[in-house]
Structure 1
Amino acid sequence: MRKVIGGKLHGIRVTESNLEYHGSITLDPEHCEAAGILPLEFVDIWNKNSGARISTYVILGHRGSRCCILNGAAARTCQPGDELIICSSIYVDGADIIDLNPAVLTFDAGNHVVERLRYSVSRDDAGRYQFAILDEAGAQLPVPLVSGAGRKRLG
């Protein structure tokens, strides 16, 4: 079995840190549902501002609140306004990777969803893996790559 991305909230901002609550991250149920993240599911959290990396479980806040609240010890790693990447994981047999299309949501500064993307893995005629990022309509977007040291981003 391989651990792969199940869903991702990319660029969501911390709305509150609550050191006195007994742990977890509180998220808007609408965001979780759209990304396929379940209540009580463990997620990895990467703070783009500080570089902190933590793991905790999800509890649901008020629907439509756009909240992202770090609770308990996790509150020490993130401050209101910090930009986070929150990623759930699933385990799959390697051959099943082509059946997945994990959702990736991107956010503006007010935690409104800006994009709803999907990751897609397929195989070409030679059996080699191909990776694509798809928009809501299923159109393929450029994959951001850097070719060689100091070169411009391609795509």
Structure 2
Amino acid sequence: MLITMLKSKLHRVRVTAVELDYEGSCAIDAELLAAAGILPFEQIQIYDVHNGERFTTYAISAAPGSGCISVNGAAARRVALGDLLIIASYLQISPQEAQGWRPKVVHVDTQNREIRPTLAV
């Protein structure tokens, strides 16, 4: 049996762009992806702190150090420029592995730059 656990999250990143005329996905600063351990094309869950929207898409890499958080395609209708998001990734592991599991949590400043070392909660 496997259980689903939080793998990592980008906590309270700010939407910097919304691109409706795009095939889909969420472009995320490559440095933030690396800090959270999220791979390009990995499934992510997005939770909008401002309006309560929750949806699934996949991550793509944006320029490192850009602070880019661009919600694209149909999902662009679910957020507004400047909204705060929590972006989460999950993994499936055995109950035994879950006993010692700690996700990565990345906190950012108002420019979407990491403000403290990635934490294992």
TM-score (norm 1): 0.74
In 2: Cα distance, 1:30 partner to 1:21 partner = 23
Q: Which runs of 4+ in 1 moved over 2 A?
A: 98-101
Alignment correspondent of 1:38: 39
For residues 23-57 of structure 1, the C-alpha deviation after alignment (integer angstroms, 9 at most, x for no partner) is: 00000111011111111000000000000000000
Q: TM-score, normalised by structure 2?
A: 0.94
- Paired residue type of 2:15: V
Q: Secondary structure at the match of 2:35?
A: helix
1:8-47 → structure 2 map (5 Å cutoff): 8-47=9-48
> Which amino acid is 1:30 matched to?
E
CA apart distance, 1:63: 1.2
Q: CA deviation at 1:106?
A: 1.1
Q: Which one scores higher on RCO, CA 8 angstroms, separation ≥ 6?
A: 2
Structure 2: any 5+ residue segments left out of the alignment?
Answer: none
5+ residue gaps in structure 1? 120-155
Structure 1: which amino acid aligns with 2:39? L
- Partners of 1:107 and 1:85 in 2: how far apart? 11
Identity percentage of aligned residues: 38
Q: CA–CA distance in 1 between the matches of 2:51 and 2:115?
A: 23
Are 2:79 and 1:78 aligned? yes
Deviation by residue 1:64-106 (Cα, 9 ceiling, x = unmatched):
1110000000100111110000000000001101343321011
- Which structure has the greater CA radius of gyration? 1
SS in 2 for 1:3: strand
Does residue 1:113 correspond to 2:114, yes or no? yes
> RMSD between aligned alpha carbons?
1.0
Task: Within 5 Å, give how 1:68-107 maps onto structure 2.
Answer: 68-107=69-108
> Secondary structure of 1:31's partner?
helix
Alpha-carbon deviation of 1:8? 0.4
1:113 is paired with a residue whose SS is coil
- In the alignment, residue 101 of structure 2 is paired with which amino acid? L
